[in-house]
Amino acid sequence: MRSIVLATRNPGKLREIQRVLADLDVRVTGLDEAGGIAEPEETGQTFAENARQKALYYARATGQWCLADDSGLVVDALGGAPGVYSARYAAADCPPSAGRETLDHANNARLLRELAETPEEKRTARFVCCLALAAEDKILIEADGVVEGRIAREKAGENGFGYDPLFFVPELGCTTAQLSPEQKNSISHRGRAVRRFAELLKTHLTRT
């Protein structure tokens, strides 16, 4: 069985990807099992660039294949923000030691403030996910996924994480935080990217 380190300490993200890759002959673990590896500086201007940087960095640090994603929310009325800064959009409003839930709450609060005067028809947004799998010396596979929606005026739902309580999918009539994990994986940006990645990985494993 091939071991793959997922470049995250976010348990929600780890669970989502483990579910999609469950049928493949791979074991996916998070960074919490890899020891105290310092985080790399993310200097990419796009999600794809950051995914490649992280995948190569952690592959070299662990000596294993590493799967990294960079994903986030792109809001049209904010000129594409928060974009690559999605996870730390409101970091300045939080103490340095703030955990993921505190940051998520602050990020959502900032987004609502900045869109307070934005009419419904201009609250369009999309979640974007770019994945990169790396060995120590090269990128092996890349895949991406996108889901379109709009930003709700208040949070709804208890599932998911990040901006899920505010990301409303018109076709479903609810936010992604109101979906079950299985429903969310079927339509989410990360679910789409990981399913595409799984197809490519299956082919790659048969050749190695």
Per DSSP, 120 falls in state: G
Given 70, 104, 144, 164, the catalytic residue: 70
Q: Which residues pair with 26 in a beta bridge?
A: 2
| Ordered alpha helix ranges (H), 29-93 | 47-62
- Give the E-state strand segments of 54-99 in sequence order: 65-75
Question: What is the signed CA dihedral for 86, 88, 93, 94, rounded to 10 degrees?
Answer: 140
Cis peptide before 170 (omega within 30 of 0): no
Is residue 8 helix, strand or coil?
Answer: coil
Q: 99: which 2 tokens?
A: 């955990």
Distance CA 150, CA 170 (A): 8
Distance CA 25, CA 23 (A): 7
25 has catalytic annotation? no
Contacts of 137 (CB under 8 A, 6+ apart): none
Q: Active-site residues: which are they?
A: 70
